[in-house]
Structure 1
Amino acid sequence: MTDSLPRSKRARRIRNKRLNQLPLAAAANQPLAYLVKESGFRSLAAFASAINNHASAAYGIQLSHDHNIIRRWLNGAACMHPEIVADVLSGAWGVTIPPAVIWPDDRNGTPPASAHLQPCIAEHTLANLGAFLRRDALREVGWTDPVPVATGDELVNPISRWLASPPVRLTATEQGPQHTDQRDQLMVDRIEAATAHLIALDAVAGGEAARDMAAGQLRYAVDLASHHLPTDTFIRNRLLAAIARLASEVGAMSHDAGLDGTAQQYFAYALQTAQVVDNDHANLVVVYVLTHMAHQMCELSAPQTALRLIELAAAHHIQHAARSGVMQGMLWILRARALAILGPDWMEEINSSIALALTGCATAETPPPISQCRLRRHAAEVYLTIAEVDHRQAAPLAAKAESCSLIALDTQSQNQAREKAYNLINLARSRFLLGRPDEACDDATQAIQLAHQIPGAARLATRIHALATIAERFPHHPQARDLHRRALHFEP
């Protein structure tokens, strides 16, 4: 008889509170669970009410959803109006969230949303990175990049949100073959060693071949993490950190090959993977990836986006990552590059940023020669960017660029063909601006000869094509006319 009596008001409140909450790990639809949890709604009932109100106001549809229907969606049920749910979550997050992010199975063959618009959930990130790698492997040489590049709020706002949110980490499963910790450690050792080898190979030459090899190694590492996650927490974190670092390198190589949309996807997946790793090295990888993204934005002439990414990286570096003089120096020099694109009005801050960059690298315990070389190369590009628009200061700025380029050439390893080609191009640009076309043409000729050894380096080819415009300023100089022709028709 007691069981048939009405429940007390207090009992109903407890029951409703329990129904309104759902642990993130228990949800079948992890993207939806994460987006709802971090969206600011106080309960599932409040979220359901927001959906009902938006459906009525925006679409004239009368819905009567409650916490029960939200729980069914979280448990894997389909939704009749996914675009309305996506609208509500987009409003709560302040960024556009496509329905395909929340219900990936309903895409009907359409490609998934961009990586930076996807929630930062470890299992979800690895699955999507694996799928993206498989699509990338089907891309034929010579195809244009089908992935659009995001800038501004569209890129930075979602990244800021999930970098500031608590990470949703992976947990080891009991499925699949169980390896010993020693065997797991050996596999991770090999992935880390292969990554170091590929980074060294890219530093020597780069190009499309290095990118393809790195992407293949990344596919192996992602498949390993997807099908056999090490049970030891330390080894598991090492594996995920290695995946994040390698994904960022594949992104940088994709940018070098002119595949900027593809590069941005790899950068976003690398950030998300590093974000869910629980060690200091991964925090440094987050900063490292953000510097790659800022550099890409500078190359694409999106300085405001670059500056915002640099601010994100600097904040993360201070709060989470082990301090690195080299990394701090790279952040300062990229800030100078972004400000230089904005114009000569920022010259005081540009000079200060360059000085801080070189000082930061000099105070590092053992700065790699490649880091010092790149800082000098970036500094030269900063001076050249301003010199080419501020004709009054062109000569002194070109002289500074020449000095930085010469130091970079002296400090770099002789087998780094791509880096040497970049520095020779900067040297040629500075000497053209200084009115010394004989030396400039010699430097440019060496750069073109080196570039022929690096197939698929589209970014380098763009720099060489720009030399044709500078050489046009000397129409009566035979070498300059010949250089103009060769630079204009150069193919990577």
Structure 2
Amino acid sequence: MRLSGASYERVAKAVNEVAASHGRHDVQTDSSRVSRWINKGERPRQPVPEYLAQALTKLCGQPYELTSADLGFSSSRPRRAGEGWSARAVVAAILDTTRSDAVTDDRTPPRARLLRGAELVTAVQPWLHLPDDEPLPEPAKPGRQLGLSDVDRIHATTSAFRRLDNEHGGALSRLAVVGQLQEVTHLARTCTFTEDTGRALFAAVAELASVAGWMTHDAGVHGEAQRYLLLGLQAAKQAGRHGAGIGGHLLNCLARQANHLGHAEDALELVQAAQYGTRKLPPGRLRALLCSLEARCHAVLGDIAEMERATAAAEAALAADSGEPTPSWAAWFDAAEFHVTAGVCEFLAAEHVPARAERAITLIAQGTGHRPAERVRSRAFDHIALARAYVRAGEPEAADVATSTALALMGSVSSTRVGDRLQELDAELKAAPLGGTVVESRERIRAAVYPQ
């Protein structure tokens, strides 16, 4: 109840809604009854404990389904760590989340609570420690036979959605991806498939969840975004040993989200978990992007020596890339991305050693000069970072040019994150020595971020 933050009346209403979804319209709980369960230890009659567990799962935004045993309403044992990561449980959780998401709108309060600290680390730990060879379940309602060619088509559709996200931002296509995730997860429940196809299907579900989570994060709905990414991580575990790469990418997404929200310690824990879980994979883009993100976390935390070590490791891993075809979820990390990220690390380090701002400008400019034209949102981020580095270096005119470019690119994407970064640039300009150029830059930023 404390985690949910819900009133007794809200919990009662949620229980009644769950009961009605099961056809039990005779269950009519009220706030006084919920109060007696909690404050007087009364035990609800069957099957209300299970309905209460389902209601609190949604209200708490848990990344797994609670049971009546978790609430103390059963003589059976409580849930063990990692329970709820079975293929059947993952499928049920994704279907429930996507159905609910599809019928919400901007006025609906967020369902998922953002996990932080030890709670977030605990939520990802089973990916590291559970075995990779858990059996896949038989379909609940056996349907058509699914083959690897079907899975290939799912991957192609996911790649198309990822391109749309890069070009236009996540808000425009987010619900379309959520619908695709629901449909593909439904295949895991109803189709028959071989062991290899089943594992590949769960890897495809994990990749789709990563895109849904990232688009949701880009739209500024952070609790729901985190939930999609955690569900994707659970699906990646069901992909067996073939899910290590996409699992590492999902942890990378969770870490990037934590960094964006100012939770650098959480981000570092997550990226280090990803590095441990993918340690047996050959060097290449995934290792490079994880090392690069680790460097950024160290830079935020002010550990410059560790930042430099991790940046060198990222450069070495990228140089060691075999040139084999790269999964679309890793292809975005190229030399341009490496140089921009290294430049951002130098910019962050310039808080402690101001002379590093010049190195930041060189690296960011080098990276953005080689960005593919279709990476519109990334180019906007690049120019915002470049403007901040110019401000730090005492070059307001150059910062104004980079700001103008970022604002022009912002008009082409629908992304709350671009607005967030522009607000950071505005704060940087506010702290700079006043001058006509600085004032004009700030006026244009505020007009774009806070339109009348």
User: Structure 1 length normalisation: TM-score?
Assistant: 0.72
C-alpha distance after superposition, 1:190-241 (max 9, x if no partner):
211101111122222323013222222112111222222x322222222111
- Which residue among 402, 409, 419 is the counterpart of 2:368? 409
- CA, structure 1 residues 209+81, in 2 after alignment: closer, same or farther (shift >3 Å)? closer
- Which residue among 385, 388, 391 is the counterpart of 1:429? 388
Identity %: 24
Amino acid at match of 1:123: R
Amino acid at match of 1:363: A
- CA, structure 1 residues 479+278, in 2 after alignment: closer, same or farther (shift >3 Å)? same
- Which deviates more from structure 2 when the two are superposed, residues 239-248 or residues 301-310? 301-310
Counterpart secondary structure, 2:172: helix
Amino acid at match of 1:259: V
Question: Are the aligned partners of 2:213 and 2:227 in contact in 1 as well (CA < 8 Å)?
Answer: yes
Provide the residue aligned with 1:365 in structure 2: 322
* Matched pairs, number: 388
Residue 178 in 1 paired to residue 151 in 2? no
Mapped to 2, the partners of 1:491 and 1:81 lie a distance apart of 46
Amino acid at match of 2:129: A
C-alpha distance after superposition, 1:178-197 (max 9, x if no partner):
33x5xx34432221110111
Residue 221 in 1 paired to residue 184 in 2? yes
- Which residue among 287, 291, 296 is the counterpart of 1:337? 296
- Which deviates more from structure 2 when the two are superposed, residues 267-276 or residues 217-226? 217-226
Gaps of 5+ in 2: 1-38, 53-60, 72-80
Gaps of 5+ in 1: 1-58, 62-76, 84-95, 107-115
- Which residue among 412, 419, 438 is the counterpart of 1:480? 438
- Which residue among 128, 143, 160 is the counterpart of 2:93? 128
Provide the residue aligned with 2:262 in structure 1: 301
Counterpart secondary structure, 1:102: coil
Provide the residue aligned with 2:11 in structure 1: none
1:268: how far off?
Answer: 0.8
- Which deviates more from structure 2 when the two are superposed, residues 159-168 or residues 197-206? 159-168
Provide the residue aligned with 1:140 in structure 2: 105
Amino acid at match of 2:144: Q
C-alpha distance after superposition, 1:103-128 (max 9, x if no partner):
4999xxxxxxxxx9872111111111
Mapped to 2, the partners of 1:383 and 1:81 lie a distance apart of 53
Mapped to 2, the partners of 1:340 and 1:185 lie a distance apart of 43
What are the residue-to-residue correspondences of 1:145-294 with 2, within 5 Å?
A: 145-161=110-126, 163-166=128-131, 168-173=134-139, 175-179=141-145, 184-228=147-191, 230-280=192-242, 282-294=243-255
- CA, structure 1 residues 255+275, in 2 after alignment: closer, same or farther (shift >3 Å)? same
Provide the residue aligned with 1:464 in structure 2: 422
- CA, structure 1 residues 174+258, in 2 after alignment: closer, same or farther (shift >3 Å)? closer
C-alpha distance after superposition, 1:312-343 (max 9, x if no partner):
11111124xx3242111111111111112222
Mapped to 2, the partners of 1:268 and 1:98 lie a distance apart of 7
1:486: how far off?
Answer: 2.0
Counterpart secondary structure, 1:157: helix
Mapped to 1, the partners of 2:423 and 2:181 lie a distance apart of 32
1:130: how far off?
Answer: 0.8
Question: Are the aligned partners of 1:465 and 1:490 in contact in 2 as well (CA < 8 Å)?
Answer: no
Counterpart secondary structure, 2:359: helix
Question: Are the aligned partners of 2:361 and 2:389 in contact in 1 as well (CA < 8 Å)?
Answer: yes
Residue 328 in 1 paired to residue 287 in 2? yes
1:454: how far off?
Answer: 0.8
- Which deviates more from structure 2 when the two are superposed, residues 476-485 or residues 397-406? 476-485
- CA, structure 1 residues 407+97, in 2 after alignment: closer, same or farther (shift >3 Å)? closer
Quick check: which one's helix share is greater?
1
Give the structure with higher Rg (CA).
1
Mapped to 1, the partners of 2:198 and 2:159 lie a distance apart of 19
Provide the residue aligned with 1:348 in structure 2: 305
- CA, structure 1 residues 432+124, in 2 after alignment: closer, same or farther (shift >3 Å)? same
Question: Are the aligned partners of 1:335 and 1:353 in contact in 2 as well (CA < 8 Å)?
Answer: yes
1:279: how far off?
Answer: 4.1
Question: Are the aligned partners of 1:471 and 1:480 in contact in 2 as well (CA < 8 Å)?
Answer: yes
Provide the residue aligned with 1:310 in structure 2: 271
Amino acid at match of 1:220: E
Counterpart secondary structure, 2:279: helix
Counterpart secondary structure, 2:113: coil
Mapped to 2, the partners of 1:307 and 1:424 lie a distance apart of 25
Mapped to 2, the partners of 1:82 and 1:144 lie a distance apart of 21
Mapped to 2, the partners of 1:434 and 1:407 lie a distance apart of 17
Amino acid at match of 1:241: A
Question: Are the aligned partners of 1:287 and 1:313 in contact in 2 as well (CA < 8 Å)?
Answer: yes
Provide the residue aligned with 1:447 in structure 2: 406
User: Structure 2 length normalisation: TM-score?
Assistant: 0.77
